[in-house]
Amino acid sequence: MNMIAGEETATSGDCIIPNKEVAISDSDKFVTQILNGPNEQCQENFRMDKPVFYKLCHILQTRGLLRHTNRIKIEEQLAIFLFIIGHNLRTRAVQELFGYSGETISRHFNNVLNALQVPQGKYYIVDSKYQNLPGFIAPYRGGVSEPKGVFNERHKVLHRAVDRALGALKERFPILLSAPPYPLQTQVKLVIAACALHNYVRLEKPDDFVFRMFEEDTLLAETTEEEDRGMALGEEENEGHEHGLFGPEEVEDSLRLRDEIASNLWNHYVQNLPTF
């Protein structure tokens, strides 16, 4: 294993962690060493293949989401962020690795975090234990019509895929395995950013080393009895609950959105029924 000039290093697989703080002038050499080394080192350190990493840097730059500074290039800014969430490290450990102050590390961490946020208009798929609210699409409960039944079946299939994706997501970014020491709003953004990175890597390299680990996963192939019982509940949707952050009109909008999705799925289903 090549070493950073003038520093002894501790290694974890192909992950390089200096034992002493690296001088600022050497910090870029660490990133360059990884990116100029074997692809496996980039996978281990930055949790993605080198071409995927470079393309992401280009996208973030051309879209104006990140920019080079006098001291830190975009490649290193992204590397700082990926190293933190990919190895569940604290700021102090990353300070020693890249040779920057805690304030600098925190600033660039948050810059990348904000650059990776999902635009408004997206929503989460949740199971029947949750209510259908703005930003969250849940299955219908109780006895449902045929259109709603088709929606629930498609929702179930998608939910299974999401469960498998979450396994890959947590494998790639272990920081998601436990609550990190950040404010709640930052924790929320971390999840969104990790999902955005996950989806990006999936598009660029679907046979990525992490995704291959979960190709044959069948542990979540069936919904649990608890989920099935939840879907069978006859209570009215979102009735008798305080929603806190959401007003009545917002809740009604979320229900209409789900009905529109269900209607579109039903129409597509009917149009593609075989004719005899």
pLDDT at 19 over 80: no
Pick 186 or 224 by higher pLDDT. 186
Q: Is the pLDDT of residue 120 over 60?
A: yes
Whether residue 217 is predicted with pLDDT greater than 60 in this model: the reply is: no
Q: What angle do CA 202, 16, 37 make, to 5 degrees?
A: 65
Q: Percent of the chain beyond pLDDT 90?
A: 42
User: Where is mean pLDDT largest: 37-46, 187-196, 223-232?
Assistant: 37-46
At residue 7, does pLDDT exceed 80?
no
Q: Which residue has the higher pLDDT, 230 or 110?
A: 110
Most confident by average pLDDT, 14-23, 78-87, 91-100: 78-87
Per DSSP, 121 falls in state T
Q: What is the mean pLDDT of residues 247-262?
A: 90
Q: What is the mean pLDDT of residues 58-74?
A: 94
Q: Give pairs for 175-178: CB < 8 Å, separation 24+.
A: 175/84, 175/85, 175/86, 175/87, 175/88, 176/85, 177/88, 178/88
Rounded to an integer, the average pLDDT of 145-162 is 88
Using alpha carbons, list the distances in angstroms from residue 128 to 146, 219, 226: 18, 19, 9
The whole-number pLDDT of residue 45 equals: 94
65: its two tokens: 């989401």
In this predicted structure, the answer to whether residue 138 has a pLDDT above a threshold of 60 is yes
Please tell me which residue, 224 or 88, carries the higher pLDDT value: 88
Residue (of 71, 91, 69) closest to 80 by Cα position: 91
Number of H helices, E strands in the chain: 11, 4
**Range of weakest confidence among 61-75, 78-92, 223-237:** 223-237
pLDDT at 118: 63
- Give the lowest-confidence range in 26-40, 54-68, 193-207, 245-259: 26-40
Mean pLDDT of the chain: 79
pLDDT at 17: 45
Q: What are phi and psi of 169, to 5 degrees?
A: -60, -45
Average pLDDT over residues 200-226: 72
Output 94 or 45, whichever has higher pLDDT. 45
- Specify the pLDDT at position 245: 67
The torsion angles phi and psi of 41, rounded to 5 degrees, stand at -65, -40
pLDDT at position 262 over 50:
yes
> What is the identity of the amino acid at 221?
A
Residue 98 banded pLDDT, cuts 50, 70, 90: confident
Angle between helices 74-87 and 91-98 (to 10 degrees): 140
pLDDT of residue 15: 54
